[in-house]
């Protein structure tokens, strides 16, 4: 296989990587230390490998690494950290919407893409936009409840910290 | 499928030069999600066509022109009077896949043609292709037989899909059965209905997933033309002509169950299309 160089914006920083043509974005990110992007079903069903590509949540297991050329990618490492959670992470914690936590990075990124595009999604929009993320612990209610609270706080003009 | 190399094409003409250069190893990729499920012993050279400006939806003279690289998400979100493909997009896997998969990929790549091609058959959509001599062609018979499909896509690039804008008195129905949201379709059905003076003046019905290529049910259509446009006709459909087709049950279904499910789906989409035409579902 011919390895080739590609470059893209990763979490706000211009990066260059050598990629194997057959390599998926998920594998490229993980071998470069971005391990918040999780291995899951590897067939686009579970959403645990979610990243944001040019503002849209996608499954990095279904995206060839070379597809990222010239694009903007955000992984969970590009959002809030433990000591400084962002509003989505904080809402998930507040609602008790995290159990094993394996799906959480993907959930956070899907929610981030959704709220960046529409700060006040209605219940139906939340369900459609989040339908690519599976959670086998919480039963979704607490996750949706967290999303609804963020949406409501945006409606009231309050940005959660 | 294994990818052994990749190149980026910025124009249709550039994609053609790559197709010629790489021959049988060439493989056009837009969203690329289908490659994960495709089996090929030959390693391919991917020609990334995402940068070619054949995307977006335009309304032109009572028709919608959809760029082949338009994502399923864009199709879901697009709103305009007489636009119905958002109903198909809503049943498409999940949001992450809708964000990257394209309508062109769904038509020219995927397996047993169970999503957009089924809807395009009842809407009598046409495919606008450019061949290697840069000649443009409108292909409608693509949806009528398998050999045409293979021949058409082998040396051509699908640029646009054209479908009519539905007007007053016209309705559309679509249904897709899957075991899970991300599973392949086990049964897909679609219907177009035109109502005049309370009667069905035109009807088109197509099925997919249970057959290699979407089938139009001409006999069933003929039996419904001129009948009262009411959902109760769905219970009176003569399905005898279904036995003419060799159906392939999916997902472990028996033939009997597959046929039964198909009948239910066909009845549902006819009723949905009648309600749509009558303005009940709007």
**A109-145 confidence digits (pLDDT tens):** 999 999 999 999 999 999 999 999 999 998 899 999 9
Q: What is the pLDDT of residue B149?
A: 57
Taking the CA of residue A58 and the nearest CA in chain B, the distance in Å comes to: 4
A49-66 pLDDT per residue, tens: 999 999 999 999 999 999
Nearest to B95 among A4, A57, A62 (CB): A57
Q: Does the pLDDT at position A92 exceed 60?
A: yes
User: Sign of the C-alpha dihedral, residues A109, A110, A113, A117?
Assistant: negative
Asked if the ipTM is above 0.90, the reply is: yes
Q: Nearest to residue A63, comparing CAs of A37, A89, A93? A: A37
Taking the CA of residue A79 and the nearest CA in chain B, the distance in Å comes to: 19
Question: Which letter, b or e, does each residue of B131-142 get, where b requires 16 or more Cβ atoms within 10 Å of its Cβ?
Answer: eeeeeeeebeeb
Nearest to A128 among B32, B95, B180 (CB): B95
* B91: phi then psi, degrees, rounded to nearest 5: -90, 5
Taking the CA of residue B155 and the nearest CA in chain A, the distance in Å comes to: 24
pLDDT band at B111 (very low <50, low <70, confident <90, very high): low
Across residues B185-214, what is the average pLDDT? 93
Give me the total of CB pairs closer than 8 Å, taking one residue from chain A and one from chain B.
81
Asked if A21 lies within 8 A of B3 by C-beta distance, the reply is yes
Q: Nearest to residue B76, comparing CAs of B52, B54, B92? A: B92
Which CB contacts under 8 angstroms, 24+ apart, belong to B135-141?
B138/B162
Alpha helices in chain B (DSSP H): 12-22, 72-77, 85-90, 95-98, 103-108, 116-123, 146-154, 218-224, 255-278
* B46: phi then psi, degrees, rounded to nearest 5: -80, 130
Q: Does the pLDDT at position B40 exceed 90?
A: no
Question: Which letter, b or e, does each residue of B194-214 get, where b requires 16 or more Cβ atoms within 10 Å of its Cβ?
Answer: bbeeeebeebbbbbbbbbebb
Q: What is the pLDDT of residue B143?
A: 58
Q: What is the pLDDT of residue B236?
A: 84
Asked if B32 lies within 8 A of A62 by C-beta distance, the reply is yes
Report d(CA B106, CA B34) in Å as an integer.
8
Give me A142's structure tokens.
């607490």
Contact criterion met (CB below 8 Å) for B93 and B105: no
Across residues B62-70, what is the average pLDDT? 96
- What's chain A's average pLDDT? 94
- Residue A110: its chain B contacts at CB < 8 A? 95-96
What's the pTM?
Answer: 0.92
Q: What is the pLDDT of residue A161?
A: 46
């Amino acid at each position: 296989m011919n390895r080739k160089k590609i470059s893209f914006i990763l979490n706000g920083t211009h990066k260059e990587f050598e990629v194997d043509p057959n390599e998926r974005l998920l594998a490229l990110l993980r071998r470069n230390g971005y391990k918040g992007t999780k291995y899951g079903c590897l067939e686009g069903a579970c959403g645990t490998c979610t990243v944001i590509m040019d503002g849209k949540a996608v499954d990095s297991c279904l995206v060839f690494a070379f597809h990222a050329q010239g694009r903007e990618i955000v992984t969970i490492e590009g959002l809030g950290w433990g000591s400084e959670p962002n509003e989505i992470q904080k809402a998930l914690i507040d609602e008790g919407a995290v159990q094993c936590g394996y799906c959480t990075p993907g959930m956070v990124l899907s929610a981030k893409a959704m709220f960046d595009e529409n700060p006040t999604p209605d219940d139906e929009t939340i369900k459609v936009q989040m339908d690519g993320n599976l959670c086998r612990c919480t039963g979704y209610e607490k996750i949706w409840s967290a999303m609804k609270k963020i949406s409501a706080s945006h409606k009231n003009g309050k940005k959660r910290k | 499928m294994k990818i052994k190399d990749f190149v980026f094409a910025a124009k249709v003409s550039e994609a053609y030069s790559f197709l010629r250069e790489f021959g049988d190893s060439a493989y056009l990729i837009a969203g690329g999600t289908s490659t994960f499920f495709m089996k090929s012993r030959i390693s391919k050279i991917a020609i990334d066509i995402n940068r070619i400006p054949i995307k977006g939806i335009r309304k032109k003279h009572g028709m919608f022109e959809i760029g082949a690289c338009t994502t399923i998400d864009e199709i879901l979100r697009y709103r305009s009077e007489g636009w119905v493909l958002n109903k198909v997009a809503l049943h498409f896997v999940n949001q992450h896949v809708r964000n990257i998969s394209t309508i062109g990929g769904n038509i020219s790549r995927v397996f047993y043609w169970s999503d957009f091609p089924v809807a395009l058959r009842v809407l009598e959509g046409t495919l606008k292709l450019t061949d290697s001599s840069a000649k443009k062609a409108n292909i409608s018979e693509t949806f009528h037989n398998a050999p045409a499909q293979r021949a058409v896509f082998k040396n051509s690039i699908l640029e646009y899909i054209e479908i009519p804008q539905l007007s007053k008195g016209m309705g559309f129905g679509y249904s897709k059965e899957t075991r899970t949201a991300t599973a392949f379709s086990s049964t897909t059905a679609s219907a177009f209905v035109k109502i005049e003076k309370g009667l069905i003046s035109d009807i088109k019905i197509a099925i997919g997933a249970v057959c290699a290529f979407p089938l139009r049910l001409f006999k069933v259509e003929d039996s419904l033309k001129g009948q009262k446009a009411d959902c109760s006709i769905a219970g009176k459909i003569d399905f005898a002509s279904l036995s003419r087709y060799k159906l392939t049950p999916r997902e472990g279904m028996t033939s009997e169950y597959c046929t039964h499910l198909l009948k239910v789906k066909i009845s549902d989409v006819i009723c949905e299309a009648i309600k749509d035409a009558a303005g009940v579902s709007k």
